[in-house]
Amino acid sequence: MRRYVLAILLIVSKVAYCQSPDFLPSGVHIAGISSAVTDSWSAFGNPASLVQRTRWQFAIQYENRYMLKQFSSETAQLAFCNKYVNVGVCVTHFGYKHYGEVVAGIVFAHDFGGRFSMGLQANYYGAYMGKEDGYCGTVVPQLGFTVALGRKVTLGFETFNPFMQHIRVKGGAKKQLPSIYKLGVDYRFYEHFSWLTELSKDLRGEWRVATGIEWQAVDMLRVKAGLYAGRYFVACMGVGMNFKGFGFDINADVHPILGVCLQGNVHYAF
């Protein structure tokens, strides 16, 4: 049974080109775009986006890919913001009892006068390979920045595992970790509309292009629609609601072969 499940996971991972590596959660913005965002911080997204003025932030998230239990992840994050340095902690788990990956991170971010922000994040990545191969892990850096190019345009950059680190499993074999670079733009072309675009590259994988529109229909409701392309074109949609610091987001991606990815995020800021 275990070999059967592992075979399914391998086939799916070869066909899929999702928003992020399987063990990293997707961001709450359309198509998982995170590099140029400054109005919210998503765990393991651009660390420079942790520049909000609210003092405390907390969020939990559940994500399921292609209706497979083994392709589910759970994420939690907590942030404390002040005028000196913003600090965040986050943890995510992906997998099931025979195979699992855990990433825990701590973030430090600072906003330099509203025009430029920078964030650094230290992550511990650990993988459980089953009883035979056991547990292994390593520390992986992550960094990013955002630059305001006027009142309507923000440019962002982020990278995860820039030095192409890997881990060694039992027997000396290497498990390569993704090394990802992202460049994005947030263009607020109208008062209640934001156009997000992002180009990303895994140095061991393919290019990915994502774009989408987010519309603040009313103060409490945000509507999202877009797409991303790697091996396939994937349509994305979602809604977000906020009320007195409390909010939730529900997003869905529709893969033309594998089916639907669903994400739910609940957050509170005060």
pLDDT in tens, 94-150: 988 888 999 999 999 999 988 999 999 999 999 988 777 788 899 999 999 999 999
Among 23, 72, 10, residue whose Cα is nearest residue 261: 72
**What are the residue boundaries of the structural domains of the chain, listed by start?**
2-269
pLDDT over threshold 60, residue 13: no
What pLDDT was estimated at residue 20?
59
Angle at 54 between CA 213 and CA 104, to 5 degrees: 80
Q: Please, are residues 144 and 159 in contact by the beta-carbon 8 Å criterion?
A: yes
Residue 93, Cβ density class (10 Å: 0-12 exposed, 13-18 middle, ≥19 buried) = middle
Q: From the centroid of its chain, how far is CA 145?
A: 15
User: Topology of domain 2-269, per CATH?
Assistant: Porin (2.40.160)
Which residues, including other chains, have CB under 8 Å from residue 7's CB and lie 6 or more apart?
Answer: none
In this predicted model, what pLDDT tens digit does every residue of 200-231 receive, in sequence order? 999 988 899 999 999 999 989 999 999 999 88
